[in-house]
Chain A
């Protein structure tokens, strides 16, 4: 029913467009003297009629899609004798869900006894309310279209109206970014607050014992949510091991590509290097777990580290570092390229070798940009999920041993969210608290990094 309404409204709108355009064309033809020339082109008049037909009707459609289901549900429930009505909202929702799927022909029979008997009532109510909604929507479309059409006159500024709406749409689209940010902050804060009402923020942020799996059902062990081992694991893998790989390799790659490589070699090597960044993280995770981790463990065992785990921090960190190489490289590349050519010439003209020029002039001059790039890389590394989920462990250890297993914030978020789905337990809510910490830390890193990079760019502009 609703689908038909949508098609009809769109059809009406197109008719409105054609009629409005036709009328405007009629009075436009042959009148080119400035005094009587219409303000707007026929297309604008047509679009104006179209919008008057479409927009109010679609708004009403949105409203009705929010209002109709509750009305239908009430009607269905009230057709049940009061004694049989489920009291629990969950049961009620389950019952209505079943009725709906039977009525739609998706399933042949329900588990709940009452559902089959309610199907006729549901069908009647649904037809009634949807019918009313469809009628109203069509009516509004027709009235809107007629109103729009009545305004098609040579002196009517249809273009201004249409363009004003265009601008509004553009503005609304750009507000979605803010809405998303608010949505992120809001949902993380809201769920975290619920978590912190059960577990104190202090014991979460500074506790060293993490074993949320220990709390089952109603018994919540509030001391089992100390996130320090997670923070350490995240920093150890993302900011230490991965950066020990990514910074030297990324920086040296950028230097080689910008300063030494033949232009033809560069046009091939640079995109090849960037392919590393295009490989999905789940592939890296699989590679780390399957190909990198076992030999690393064997190696560690062979040099006498018996605690070596096949889910070592090293395997995850190494692979993550490789993934970050092109990122660091392209940031360093940009920063070095932003150093004016005159610096390089100045140094070379004094008799410095290219490497002396790079080490003593270019890199120091580009350092703020490079540091900013590294901060962004760290923020990316600590927020990376799949590599650590697949290659790092679940054991929350506070250890400096790279061959041991550590766990990270993102690993634990996935772990907590995919176990069971009861939405009120501190176990699931803890994931939001971890998400909040992760969000704030990456936000801070990004803001600092962008500021550093911006200041640096200004210095050479």
Chain B
């Protein structure tokens, strides 16, 4: 199914991944590649397993005790489920942005500084200030908040909160950023800003985005994967998927016949 062996550098590879919740199988035999400087979109109807799969890429499923993952998922060729892979480092390298903005009830500054601080990425106050400023700039939030860095992160608007969460993820210098429907809780204007931001961030990171919104997938992604009932139905260049899907199911979905 992986037909995307072009010039881009492979960042993450998943091969024959099955995911179980207790006895229930949520993902069946999925193989997929994620490349640097690309945005990969996961689309599909609710409950198709796209978010579940996304969460295995930085092992957030570990927090659910009944979840079990088999198969082979590699980051830069290193098995992320092997015992030598440290989950704390993995999550620093593979950041995540959630559906609902979830800033910590701390100041804007402390929200950004949290990650670098726990990972020991800054040696002094001035370096931390630099990281905070750089992260906020990259997330396009600096101009809006630079005069009120000590205000609470929860006092921002929904769209600003989500950009704060993106800045927070950027601050630990990740290689991959996973986004789980990052704009589904936002209004159209805030959504547009997030999409613009994803577009800008693409140059530095491998981005994986789960979305309900097919227009959004078409707008922001270069590759698209279509999930249905826990299986990966089709994966390819976004333009191909939307204009010339190979599978009948994909066609039905993007033309709005179900989902």
Instruction: Report if A360 contacts B (CB, 8 A).
Output: yes
In-complex Cβ contact of A342 among B65, B98, B114 (8 A): B98
Residue ranges of B at the interface with A (Cβ–Cβ < 8 Å): 58, 60, 63, 65, 87-92, 95-96, 98, 100, 102-106, 114-115, 118-119, 165, 168-169, 172
Instruction: Report if A353 contacts B (CB, 8 A).
Output: yes
* Contact, CB under 8 Å: B88 / A342: no
* Contact, CB under 8 Å: A364 / B114: no
Query: A-B pairs with the 4 shortest C-beta distances?
Result: A351-B92, A342-B102, A351-B91, A349-B96
- Report the separation of the CA atoms of residues A361 and B168 in the bound assembly, to the nearest whole angstrom: 14
The total number of A-B Cβ pairs within 8 Å is 68
Q: Across the two chains, which residue of chain A brings its CB closest to B86?
A: A351
Chain A interface SS verdict (over half): helix
* Contact, CB under 8 Å: A342 / B100: yes
* Contact, CB under 8 Å: B105 / A364: yes
- Report the separation of the CA atoms of residues A350 and B102 in the bound assembly, to the nearest whole angstrom: 12
Q: Across the two chains, which residue of chain B brings its CB closest to A262?
A: B65
Please name all residues of chain A whose beta carbon is closer than 8 Å to the beta carbon of B172 when the two chains form the complex: 350-351
Chain B interface SS verdict (over half): helix
- Report the separation of the CA atoms of residues A442 and B165 in the bound assembly, to the nearest whole angstrom: 42
In-complex Cβ contact of A350 among B65, B100, B106, B114 (8 A): B114
- Report the separation of the CA atoms of residues A348 and B106 in the bound assembly, to the nearest whole angstrom: 16
Instruction: Report if A347 contacts B (CB, 8 A).
Output: yes
Known contacts A342-B102, A343-B104, A345-B60; A356 and B118 CB within 8 A of each other: yes
Task: Name the distance in Å between A75's Cβ and chain B's nearest Cβ.
Answer: 76
Contact code string A310-354 (vs B, CB < 8 Å = 1, else 0): 000000000000000000000000000000101111111111110
Q: List 15 A-B contacts (CB under 8 A).
A: A263-B65, A340-B102, A342-B102, A345-B102, A346-B103, A349-B91, A349-B98, A349-B169, A350-B92, A350-B115, A351-B91, A352-B114, A352-B118, A353-B88, A361-B104
* Contact, CB under 8 Å: B105 / A345: no
* Contact, CB under 8 Å: B89 / A349: no
Known contacts A351-B88, A351-B90, A352-B88; A346 and B102 CB within 8 A of each other: yes
Instruction: Report if A239 contacts B (CB, 8 A).
Output: no
Instruction: Report if A365 contacts B (CB, 8 A).
Output: yes
Other contacts beyond A351-B115, A361-B114: 7, CB < 8 A: A343-B104, A344-B63, A350-B115, A350-B118, A350-B168, A351-B92, A365-B104
In-complex Cβ contact of B118 among A262, A345, A351, A459 (8 A): A351
Please name all residues of chain A whose beta carbon is closer than 8 Å to the beta carbon of B115 when the two chains form the complex: 350-352
* Contact, CB under 8 Å: B88 / A345: no
Q: Which of A263, A348, A353 has the most B CB atoms < 10 Å from its CB? A: A348
Q: Across the two chains, which residue of chain B brings its CB closest to A356?
A: B118
Please name all residues of chain B whose beta carbon is closer than 8 Å to the beta carbon of A360 when the two chains form the complex: 114, 118
- Report the separation of the CA atoms of residues A89 and B43 in the bound assembly, to the nearest whole angstrom: 92
- Report the separation of the CA atoms of residues A379 and B89 in the bound assembly, to the nearest whole angstrom: 45
Q: Across the two chains, which residue of chain A brings its CB closest to B178?
A: A349
Task: Name the distance in Å between B20's Cβ and chain A's nearest Cβ.
Answer: 18
* Contact, CB under 8 Å: B102 / A348: no
- Report the separation of the CA atoms of residues A263 and B89 in the bound assembly, to the nearest whole angstrom: 27
Q: Across the two chains, which residue of chain B brings its CB closest to A350?
A: B115
* Contact, CB under 8 Å: B118 / A346: no
Please name all residues of chain A whose beta carbon is closer than 8 Å to the beta carbon of B63 when the two chains form the complex: 344-345, 348
Task: Name the distance in Å between B171's Cβ and chain A's nearest Cβ.
Answer: 8
- Report the separation of the CA atoms of residues A177 and B106 in the bound assembly, to the nearest whole angstrom: 41
- Report the separation of the CA atoms of residues A459 and B98 in the bound assembly, to the nearest whole angstrom: 20
Please name all residues of chain B whose beta carbon is closer than 8 Å to the beta carbon of A345 when the two chains form the complex: 60, 63, 96, 98, 102
- Report the separation of the CA atoms of residues A353 and B88 in the bound assembly, to the nearest whole angstrom: 7
- Report the separation of the CA atoms of residues A348 and B95 in the bound assembly, to the nearest whole angstrom: 10
Task: Name the distance in Å between A165's Cβ and chain B's nearest Cβ.
Answer: 51
Task: Name the distance in Å between A350's Cβ and chain B's nearest Cβ.
Answer: 4
Task: Name the distance in Å between A256's Cβ and chain B's nearest Cβ.
Answer: 16
Q: Across the two chains, which residue of chain A brings its CB closest to B169?
A: A350
* Contact, CB under 8 Å: B105 / A347: no
